[in-house]
Structure 1
Amino acid sequence: MDTKKLRQKILDLAIHGKLVPQDPNDEPASVLLERIKAEKERLIKEGKIKRSKKSAKTSDTPHYENVPFEIPENWVWCKLEDIICELKYGTSEKSSSVGKIAVLRMGNITNIGTIDYSNLAYSSNDEDIKQYSLKKDDLLFNRTNSSDWVGKTAIYKEEQPAIYAGYLIRIRSILISPDYLNIVMNSSYYRNWCYNVKTDAVNQSNINAQKLSQLMIPVPPSREQDKIIAEITKWISLIDAIRNSKEDLQATIKQAKSKILDLAIHGKLVPQDPTDEPASELLKRINLKAEITCDNGHSRKLPQNWCWAKGMFIFSPMKSVRPTGETFQYIDIDSIDNVRQTIKETKVIRSSNAPSRASRYTQKGDVVFSMVRPYLRNIAKVCFNDCIASTGFYVCSPLDMLHPEFCYYLMISDYVVNGLNQFMKGDNSPSINKGDIDNWLFPLPPFAEQQRIVAKIEELFSTLDNIQKALEA
């Protein structure tokens, strides 16, 4: 179940008047709009708000010909500027890590219409505190952000005293539930509107107050707004419970895979066969220079027929090549899906434009292991020939005593990744080097057992992957 799509569907039903039944006894929204106008005129006369520059006051309810979609008979369309006090930009003063009052910034507005108070900045400017202090139920609009999230909104519920920064616009409604407005402004109708009216700059999009004032709002009767909010609250609670259960299960699947690999590389996943040729004998036969040990001094004991071997004795020495031909397939860090540990796609690059780092020879069955920030797990199996990888990778090309699939599972295991992390050096891009992998001790089972281990891992992972697919459907 896609909980994001379900959430969106519930919001869309709500603003189309299809989530709760209509009650013909409700006061029509057109009457509500007249009361809003009267209240707005009172606030203007008392000097509490300023009249909009747009037009002279009018006593009749406007009728809009080109509305975004049909709404129930006792609802009404209006512009946002018709139902609010004002749209007010936030403070432009730079905030700091300490101060008298919290400053809500665009990063505090989540993508699901709530405020995150976990990473706050502060201000001690008394004038700003007077001018930009938020009141309970103020709606905050994120006017500048990425293309996908410009226009995200959230309601201030007075969780703690706060002002707001300049990339936010405060919306203070009149006789309209801010919770209902927030529902509208998290719907797919609204997200499409944001996409159509935004202006784009470098890595940022913007929607100013003038454009925001013209947003068309479908307004239900007051009582129906309350019913919609109550129904939405019930549905969102259920959706959140489903999402949390999915996340818990996904975390469990990830932990299960990690545990399977841990058992596999320590000889606990499949039974040993005493008739298997010992790994040490196979290693000596294939690589006469190999140093063999049965204990690395700090890890768990291995089964009797296993041995420890350094990377330099189980992987072929890496080869440097330069691209030939008109184009070549290139594997760099962007090619790797570090969640699934696979190659998403290779880049096809003209040889004349080859990056200087494009010089690691790879072949089908190799495993590329990023030496830059290895904790990010940019690791993948090469599934085709004639590719060149970046020098940021260690290319694990298994010798004959190491099964290619077992090599892959070994390199993505916590034992290898977490073990190699300890050698990282550097501040901006902490990295390990070739020698760290060359000298790392790897557990090596008999070749026949490697085959049994691979078959068992694939059987168990297939079951877990089917569960994962069901969660994502």
Structure 2
Amino acid sequence: MSHLDTLITDHLDLWTAAVRPKSSAGRGSNSKLELTGIKKLRELILELAVRGKLVPQDPNDEPASVLLERIAAEKARLVKEGKIKKPKALPEISEEDKPFGLPEGWEWVKLGEIGYDHGQKTPDSSFTYIDVGAINKEMGFIDSPTVMAASDAPSRARKIVKSGTIIYSTIRPYLLNIAVIDEDMSPEPIASTAFAIIHPFDGVLSSYVYRYLRSPCFVNYVESVQTGIAYPAINDKQFFNGIIPLPPTEEQHRIVAKVDELMALCDQLERRSESQLAAHQTLVETLLAMLTDSADADELAQNWARLSTHFDTLFTTEASIDALKQTILQLAVMGKLVPQDPSDEPASALLARIAAEKAQLVKEKKIKKEKPLPAISENEKPFELPQGWAWCYLQEITFLITDGKHGDCNNLDNSGFYFLSAKNIQNGKLVYDNARQIVESEFAEIHQRTDLEAGDICMVNTGATVGKMAMAQDHIYTRKTTFQKSVAVIKVASNYISNRYVALFLESEIPNLLKLSGGSAINNLLLGDLKRKLLPLPPLVEQHRIVTKVAELMVICDQLKSRLKTSQQTQLALAESLVEGALS
């Protein structure tokens, strides 16, 4: 067994345990986790391969220097026969250009010296079109090319390719859209100009070059020369100027075989890890459902006690901790989180007092009369409420639900009047760093609409972050703040209702609010839908007990997340140190 085989098998748990959250993923899915340890292992395999450390050298192999002499002769012949253009001389490789030393028999060489480009043509008959979408980049072959008529050819369909040609996407190269044309295609294949094309000379394996182009060594080179931020790219000249460590032909064969063998092992580890993560998430969801199915607070307490003894083994991913948070919120609004007290004033009395105050405010012309909403039918109620609770519409317990200006304003730096949008709602707070400031007269016009006060709930109602909230604080900027259309302002009847309970309820409803708003990046939650949102209302004293209990349990969740993050960082550091040790 080789040193790398031992490195993998002796540390299987580490490679599979080293995970981290993906930068972006769908809510509550296992895809939130990136299997970073296995990803690093794949990179290590490729890096060791191209450094000559993956398979032993054989002194009987013909050295790469002799291969290069043959390539030079073949190149001269092809130029003479007019099959390829005479290549431009490439700059010499200096010692500083070489990222690491090579074994005996290997040579550093420019990519442009080990292969050639077939040139371009405008399709004149039916052809097989290969664009980025046609390749299977993970497996490195052409998956779904399109046969097109010459008259339908896009302007990018120009590059000639043949069996054995390697295609490398030069646009957003970090996506590693690379493949080998592994068979003769009919009709004639033509690739997009988004690819750099290299067809290796005899003695250089396309399969070896393909693997090198995916290695950290070449990725680092590309990152050092690419231009552009949103769509970084390199050009053909930069591609052919990249250097490649060239082993003897026989060793190339051995390297490719060994890389494939080890990548198959990584595939097995990945499947096992994903299967375990999926099973783990199913277990967590089943046990959390047991909590929400508890008949009352006493049964919940017993189920919680059983669950809490296994916290360290159950809540080991961000997705599982997020699911726990969502369950806590759900239990809270179902009346199962804290016990009821029959002596509490019932919610029905709160609703009657709010209705009386709203009628008085309408009479005094301080608020507008609302359109009446239909009575709530039994079929609409999603679950049964405890004694003393009542179902109501969000509109019934608020004095105003509105949104910001449906248009733009003129900026005026240092005016002291703020015009915030969805991006200014972060971690439950209104963030004023680099916030827009606008002309006072325009502010006054919008402020009449939103009239922000301490305790108001500000909620994103448009875009990808619908449901994200902040509660306005007693702040020097509060009375000088208004909003763009993307934020709704909810003024709770706070003499009778805890605005923190309402915020907690809205947070529990975020998955449903997203569905209601369209469930995409262009979500739009209508104010009418928000006003008609059904809310389970507890007595006021119980609202306060619920808010306190949820805050206490969220601290536990945050501690779990913090511990998880530390554990993930430790596992990643260990994986990285193993990689460094293997390369040194």
TM-score bracket, normalised by the shorter chain, equals 0.7 to 0.9
State the partner residue of 1:278: 346
Separation of aligned partners in 1, 2:490 and 2:63: 71
Match of 1:81 among 78, 90, 112: 112
State the partner residue of 2:292: none
Letter in 2 for 1:380: M
State the partner residue of 1:96: none
Separation of aligned partners in 1, 2:383 and 2:51: 62
Q: Is the 8 A contact 2:162 2:184 kept in 1?
A: no
- 1:195 paired with 2:220, answer no
Q: Is the 8 A contact 1:140 1:168 kept in 2?
A: yes
Letter in 2 for 1:465: K
Separation of aligned partners in 1, 2:162 and 2:344: 75
Matched residue of 2:356: which SS? coil
- 1:229 paired with 2:323, answer no
State the partner residue of 1:436: 529
Match of 1:125 among 134, 150, 153: 150
Deviations 1:393-428 (A, max 9, x none): 112344435445443342233x45535744769x99
Matched residue of 1:176: which SS? coil
Instruction: Identify which range, 241-250 or 63-72, moves more after superposition.
Output: 241-250
State the partner residue of 1:391: 485
Compared CA separation, residues 325 and 35, structure 1 to 2 (3 A): closer
Structure 1 stretches lacking a partner, 5+ long:
56-61, 94-98
Alignment map for 1:72-471 (pairs within 5 Å): 72-74=102-104, 75-86=106-117, 88=119, 103-106=129-132, 114=140, 123-125=148-150, 134-145=161-172, 149=174, 152-157=177-182, 163-174=190-201, 175-200=203-228, 204-233=231-260, 234-235=262-263, 236-237=266-267, 240-241=270-271, 244=274, 248=278, 254-255=322-323, 257-269=325-337, 271-285=339-353, 288=356, 297-298=379-380, 299-317=382-400, 326-327=415-416, 331-335=420-424, 346-352=433-439, 360=450, 362=452, 366-373=456-463, 376-377=465-466, 379-382=468-471, 385=475, 386=477, 388=481, 389-400=483-494, 401-413=496-508, 415=509, 417-418=511-512, 421-422=515-516, 431-446=524-539, 447-451=543-547, 454-455=550-551, 457-458=553-554, 461-462=557-558, 465-466=561-562, 469=565, 470-471=567-568
Instruction: Identify which range, 438-447 or 73-82, moves more after superposition.
Output: 438-447
Matched residue of 1:377: which SS? coil
The structure with the largest helix share of the pair is: 2
Q: Is the 8 A contact 2:159 2:191 kept in 1?
A: yes
Q: Is the 8 A contact 1:79 1:214 kept in 2?
A: yes
Q: Is the 8 A contact 2:55 2:255 kept in 1?
A: yes
Q: Is the 8 A contact 1:90 1:169 kept in 2?
A: no
Question: TM-score of the superposition, structure 1-length normalised?
Answer: 0.74
Deviations 1:222-255 (A, max 9, x none): 3443444345442542664477469745555555
Structure 2 stretches lacking a partner, 5+ long:
1-17, 20-35, 282-317, 359-372, 573-584
The Cα shift of 1:219 comes to 1.7
Letter in 2 for 1:80: L
Letter in 2 for 1:408: A
Separation of aligned partners in 1, 2:375 and 2:47: 65
Instruction: Identify which range, 356-365 or 441-450, moves more after superposition.
Output: 356-365
The Cα shift of 1:123 comes to 2.3
Matched residue of 1:391: which SS? coil
The Cα shift of 1:91 comes to 6.6
The Cα shift of 1:81 comes to 1.0
Letter in 2 for 1:78: V
Separation of aligned partners in 2, 1:283 and 1:334: 34
Matched residue of 2:335: which SS? coil
The structure with the largest strand share of the pair is: 1
Separation of aligned partners in 2, 1:267 and 1:133: 68
Compared CA separation, residues 38 and 127, structure 1 to 2 (3 A): farther
Instruction: Identify which range, 349-358 or 234-243, moves more after superposition.
Output: 349-358
Separation of aligned partners in 1, 2:341 and 2:391: 18
Separation of aligned partners in 2, 1:32 and 1:329: 69
Separation of aligned partners in 2, 1:410 and 1:186: 48
State the partner residue of 1:59: none
Aligned residue pairs total 453
